[in-house]
Structure 1
Amino acid sequence: MFDNLILDTDSYKASHWLQYPPGTTGAFSYVESRGGRYDRTVFFGLQAILKTALAAPVTHAMVDEAAQLLAAHGEPFNEAGWRRIVDVHGGRLPVRIRAVPEGTVVPVHQALMTIENTDPECFWLPSYLETLLLRVWYPVTVATTSWGVKQTIRAALEKTSDDPEGQLPFKLHDFGARGVSSKASAAIGGLAHLVNFLGSDTLAAVQAGRAWYNEPMAAFSIPAAEHSTITSWGREREADAYRNMLRQFGKPGALFSVVSDSYDLFDAISRIWGRELRDEVIASGATVVIRPDSGDPVAIVAETLRRLDEAFGSTVNAKGYKLLNHVRVIQGDGVNPVSIAAILERVIADGFSAENLAFGMGGGLLQQLDRDTQRFALKCSAAKVDGAWIDVSKNPVTDPGKRSKAGRLMLQRNAAGDYRTVAVGEDEAAPEGWEDAMVTVWEDGALLVDHTLAQVRARSEQG
């Protein structure tokens, strides 16, 4: 029902082939973040789109379906153009897509990818693909959000932990699968988070890593309780519910998480965990991760750490911060980039290492964002008319922020790591001291670059 590439566009795109100047044989478009919440973005997700949305060739049956639907929908249809793609190109789209290598961290206001037609008869195709290709905004924005949080947590660990880099990969866990609009969103959004971290409960992201980025196991998780597995024991048997977790998962060296706010979080910490079950926790050899799940996150985490310290004690590391014995905390309620920074600030002020704490982020990671978070746009910047390339751009007086770039664009990078987007002539190379920061990833239906998630992660870390 939804696998017809021709119909994976906006309705008005169907009429655009009739609107270009006579003699048009080429079009060149680009994607950029025009600014937003973050001053740079982590480019990720194009390969997933190419392997799914563009993988299957267009067929005459698809053309037939599109012709019928669009006629009933009230739109003209470029049937001859699409028949040409099937007959001349075997259904493979005659376009060239160039992009920065995935995982690259690039300042905003720079071109991240470009699209151009390779068949003069299909000059209308780059713009037709805008709807489909611009969906890259979502994985880029999730990866960027996750990357930004990583820098916040990294700074806290560097200040308070003896092993900051060893701890960092598991400090932000993806809890977002149930809060997104579809499994597809969970897959690509969840995988975008895993560019930066190794913890996730989003199995769709693990599957996506295998399918699209050659990664056998993109993420890891641990056994964890939910409220129903605790409250099904009844309030009077709350301690038995926790004891069952210990007996099921409490092995030497193991980690497991137990939500502990079903009734009275502080009573659960101080009385049940801290007295009734204390010796069993210690004897198990496991690390029990306590999960508060309600209340003001900053105050609740601070009080949870204080009470756990009172019950289980702590050691002081080489940097002078307390590290709890036998227990840790994961905060998954009210978690977003702002609250994470506030929680860490309070924890550090109270003398605790950030190593005591991990975060589970759901809607704040995968859903509380949109295309305008980083103001993504795909725009045509050049057209070839009567054999000559002309600049194409818009510059609305009502919103200068929507001014678009003009020309056949190239993203260039120098040895210092600076980026610039410049207009160049056809086949023009980068000048001395600068290099082309993009590579051709797709041409005429063929994927030319197949990134592994390991490569993407390495680039993100370098950023």
Structure 2
Amino acid sequence: MEQQHSTISYNPILDTDSYKPSHYLQLPPGAQSLFGYIESRGGVYGKTLFFGLQYILSRYLSTRVTYPMIEEARELLSAHGEPFNEEGWRHIVDQHGGRLPLEIRAVPEGSMIPNHNALVTVRSTDPEVAWLEAYMETMLLRVWYPITVATQSWSIKQVIRRNLEETSDDPEGQLPFKLHDFGARGVSSEESAGIGGMAHLINFMGTDTLSAIRYARAYYDEPMAGYSIPASEHSTITSWGREGEADAYRNMLRQFGGPGKIFACVVDSYDIFNAVENLFGGILKDEIIASQGIVVVRPDSGNPVEMALATAKMLKAKFGAVQNSMGFDVLNNTRIIYGDGINEGSIRGILMELKIHGFAADNIAFGMGGTLLQQVNRDTQKMAMKTSAILMPDGWRDVYKAPITDPGKASKKGLLSTYRNRVTGEIKTWQIGEACADWEDLMRVVWRNGELLVRDSLAMIRERAAETE
């Protein structure tokens, strides 16, 4: 008998923490609305590159609540030990067609916002379900992930940019392909690959994460967000046997080489020094030069700083280099991509060492995997969503916390928006009505009562991010 396997369909009522369903019983009687905000309370980077809310709104918040979802939630939460506001959720279906009655405002995606400023505000719009704003925290706060990946990627971009400006004749032309996303296999899910990979593509155009391309098409209207080149892995080299290593490289050259073409080949399957000096730089040298293309060699083990420099020196010795107008060497016929042990620190070290030894940053690109897409968490930028106001029959009241044991967790009060000073460019979150005429409101209503009101393209978001550099 064939075994039957159940699948899980998305239910926004259950996309929350277990304790949230009881909160409607905990609010003051007469509450009509809650207002909250999302911010970075600090972290590794002093400012954050805002990105990813549009995905969450399109993919999740746009899902309409249905009666079968309510039935599922009632059964599960009852068995789980939690109360369930069936009346409230039925009200959302009956009165709103299952659309969630919330108003969400946000700074434009692609904006670079200093920490401790509101990035998103959320307000429940129906007094019958005032609790809804806080209930959706779990879903909405997941925006921390694309924000943090985009911010880390942006920071590394500035490191590479500075080195290119100091050593390259074409820094802006080189920069988009200097940090390549190798992270698809290092994340927790296909969705993480799509979201995180897409966030990286705000800053760069090199990726091996196909999910990122698909997500950018579906949620940010970008036909082709990034590019890659043919490349070997260890199995495609070692399958030829150790005695056939040169044949494996020759096959790569004949399959993918040619005038103006570029491909990458891992070179440390056995002996990287032999591969670079005697195979690429010896047996195959004339064929590589005659191909009129570029072979990108990939050292994949050892100390990244030491091996990147050693590889550059070997390639220069075998193929020569041209000195650019900045006085730095650019390798002939070859380049390097380093994809093992790559993080912001090792990138700084590699670029510094190459520069000291007279090599332009043109010669190297970086492949970054789990460190780019997986070695971040909500505390990297201390992302939080907090309720800051409650509407009672006599008007709005401030809601905040101020723990004496951790002042860094103190939250903001009141109805908030984030503003930019028209003269100085300073960005600051104020209570609505506090900012004077010198400050322009950066936030826009992006969602109201089940409808996505703003849909930015990835191209537009990239332009905004570029303005911050």
TM-score tier (shorter)? over 0.9
String of CA shifts for 1:179-216, please: whole Å, max 9, x gaps.
00000000000000000000000000000010000000
Q: How does 1:6-25 map to 2 (within 5 A)?
A: 6-25=13-32
Q: How does 1:186-265 map to 2 (within 5 A)?
A: 186-265=193-272
Question: Which among 436, 439, 443 is matched to residue 434 of structure 1?
Answer: 439
User: Equivalent residue for 1:451?
Assistant: 456
User: Equivalent residue for 1:48?
Assistant: 55
Q: In structure 2, how many angstroms separate the alpha carbons of the residues matched to 1:40 and 1:2?
A: 36
1:397 maps to 2:407: no
User: Equivalent residue for 1:376?
Assistant: 383
Residues 25 and 387 of structure 1 are in contact (CA less than 8 Å); yes or no, is this contact kept in structure 2? Answer: no
SS of the equivalent of 1:201 reads coil
SS of the equivalent of 1:199 reads coil
Q: How does 1:100-111 map to 2 (within 5 A)?
A: 100-111=107-118
String of CA shifts for 1:67-100, please: whole Å, max 9, x gaps.
1110010000111110000000000000000001
Letter in structure 2 aligned against 1:392 = V
Deviation at 1:23, TM superposition (A): 1.2
Letter in structure 1 aligned against 2:380 = T
Residues 32 and 109 of structure 1 are in contact (CA less than 8 Å); yes or no, is this contact kept in structure 2? Answer: yes
String of CA shifts for 1:265-302, please: whole Å, max 9, x gaps.
01110111111110000001110000000000000000
Q: In structure 2, how many angstroms separate the alpha carbons of the residues matched to 1:430 and 1:410?
A: 9
String of CA shifts for 1:247-277, please: whole Å, max 9, x gaps.
0000110110000000000111011111111
String of CA shifts for 1:194-248, please: whole Å, max 9, x gaps.
0000000000000001000000000100000000000000001100000000000
Q: In structure 1, how many angstroms separate the alpha carbons of the residues matched to 2:163 and 2:265?
A: 25
Residues 256 and 287 of structure 1 are in contact (CA less than 8 Å); yes or no, is this contact kept in structure 2? Answer: yes
Identity %: 59
Q: In structure 1, how many angstroms separate the alpha carbons of the residues matched to 2:394 and 2:440?
A: 28
Question: Which among 321, 341, 348 is matched to residue 314 of structure 1?
Answer: 321
Residues 31 and 111 of structure 1 are in contact (CA less than 8 Å); yes or no, is this contact kept in structure 2? Answer: yes
Residues 332 and 361 of structure 1 are in contact (CA less than 8 Å); yes or no, is this contact kept in structure 2? Answer: yes
User: Equivalent residue for 1:148?
Assistant: 155
User: Equivalent residue for 2:139?
Assistant: 132
1:420 maps to 2:428: yes
Letter in structure 1 aligned against 2:230 = P
Question: Which among 137, 143, 162 is matched to residue 169 of structure 2?
Answer: 162
Q: In structure 2, how many angstroms separate the alpha carbons of the residues matched to 1:430 and 1:216?
A: 40
Structure 1 ranges of 4+ moved more than 3 A: none
Letter in structure 1 aligned against 2:234 = H
SS of the equivalent of 2:44 reads coil
Deviation at 1:429, TM superposition (A): 8.2
Q: In structure 2, how many angstroms separate the alpha carbons of the residues matched to 1:22 and 1:54?
A: 27
Residues 159 and 319 of structure 1 are in contact (CA less than 8 Å); yes or no, is this contact kept in structure 2? Answer: yes
SS of the equivalent of 1:143 reads helix
Alpha-carbon RMSD: 0.8
Q: In structure 1, how many angstroms separate the alpha carbons of the residues matched to 2:99 and 2:467?
A: 35
User: Equivalent residue for 1:177?
Assistant: 184
Question: Which among 71, 84, 93 is matched to residue 91 of structure 2?
Answer: 84
Deviation at 1:56, TM superposition (A): 1.9
Q: In structure 2, how many angstroms separate the alpha carbons of the residues matched to 1:363 and 1:42?
A: 20
SS of the equivalent of 1:24 reads coil
Q: In structure 2, how many angstroms separate the alpha carbons of the residues matched to 1:155 and 1:131?
A: 38
Deviation at 1:386, TM superposition (A): 2.3
Deviation at 1:2, TM superposition (A): 4.1
User: Equivalent residue for 1:39?
Assistant: 46
Letter in structure 2 aligned against 1:159 = E
Letter in structure 2 aligned against 1:8 = D
TM-score (norm 2): 0.97
Q: In structure 2, how many angstroms separate the alpha carbons of the residues matched to 1:365 and 1:16?
A: 36
SS of the equivalent of 1:200 reads coil
Matched positions, count: 460
Q: In structure 1, how many angstroms separate the alpha carbons of the residues matched to 2:9 and 2:415?
A: 33
Q: How does 1:229-378 map to 2 (within 5 A)?
A: 229-378=236-385
Q: Once structures 1 and 2 are overlaid, which stretch shifts more, 396-405 or 172-181? A: 396-405
Letter in structure 2 aligned against 1:164 = P
Q: In structure 2, how many angstroms separate the alpha carbons of the residues matched to 1:87 and 1:2?
A: 21
Residues 34 and 375 of structure 1 are in contact (CA less than 8 Å); yes or no, is this contact kept in structure 2? Answer: yes
Letter in structure 2 aligned against 1:456 = I
TM-score (norm 1): 0.98
Q: In structure 2, how many angstroms separate the alpha carbons of the residues matched to 1:457 and 1:124?
A: 36
Deviation at 1:393, TM superposition (A): 0.7
Q: In structure 2, how many angstroms separate the alpha carbons of the residues matched to 1:420 and 1:283?
A: 59
Question: Which among 66, 72, 75 is matched to residue 68 of structure 1?
Answer: 75
String of CA shifts for 1:289-348, please: whole Å, max 9, x gaps.
000000000000000000000000001000010000000000000001111111111111
Letter in structure 1 aligned against 2:438 = G
Q: In structure 1, how many angstroms separate the alpha carbons of the residues matched to 2:127 and 2:347?
A: 52
Letter in structure 2 aligned against 1:109 = H
Deviation at 1:352, TM superposition (A): 0.3
Q: In structure 2, how many angstroms separate the alpha carbons of the residues matched to 1:240 and 1:363?
A: 32
- Which ranges of structure 1 fall in alignment gaps of 5 or more residues? none
Deviation at 1:431, TM superposition (A): 2.3
Q: In structure 2, how many angstroms separate the alpha carbons of the residues matched to 1:302 and 1:401?
A: 43
